[in-house]
Amino acid sequence: MTNDQTLFGMDLTGSHKTMAKALTRAIRSCTYSRDQLATMLSLSLGRRITIHILNNITSISKPHYADINLVKAICAITGDARPIELFLEGLGHQLVHKEEVPIYEMHKLLMERKRIDDRLESLEGQINNGSK
C-alpha cells in the first residue's frame, strides 16, 4: 500500500468513508438492533460477527474494510443495496435493479436489431449494385 492510500488508481480512503456511510445508513434503516444484526450475519456467514466489527466497518475516522461477503450479507438482511452499488461503482460497473432488467434487455435487443438492419441494408446495396 502506498502512502497516499491508493491501489490500482482507486482512492481507498475516500471509498472507505463513502462505504462506511452507506453501511451506517443500511444498518440504521433496518428494523434489527446491531446485536440482532450481528447474530443474523454470524449465522449467514458461518463466522462470528460482533457489534465491534459492525462499529469498525461503519467508522469514518479509522479505515476498517468490510469484505464483500459481509457487505453482501448486510445488504441482503437490511434490504439496502447501496453498499453493493458503491462496491460495483468503484470497479467501474453499475448495479441494475430487478425492475430495470426488462428495459436494459429491450435496449440491447433494439441495438442488435439496428445492427442487423444496417447489415441487411449494406448487403442489399451490394446485391443491387452487383446486378446492374
Angle between helix 12-29 and helix 82-90 axes, rounded to 10 deg: 170
For the domain spanning 1-95, the CATH number is 1.10.260
The more confident residue out of 60 and 102 is 102
CB burial of residue 86 (10 Å; 0-12, 13-18, 19+): middle
Task: Enumerate the domain spans of the chain.
Answer: 1-95, 96-132
pLDDT in tens, 5-36: 444 444 544 578 889 999 999 999 999 999 99
Cross-strand bridge partners of residue 7 = 10
**79 DSSP 8-state letter:** -
Does the reported pTM lie above 0.75?
A: no
| Residue written as grid cell 457489534 | 51
The reported pLDDT for the residue numbered 75 is 95
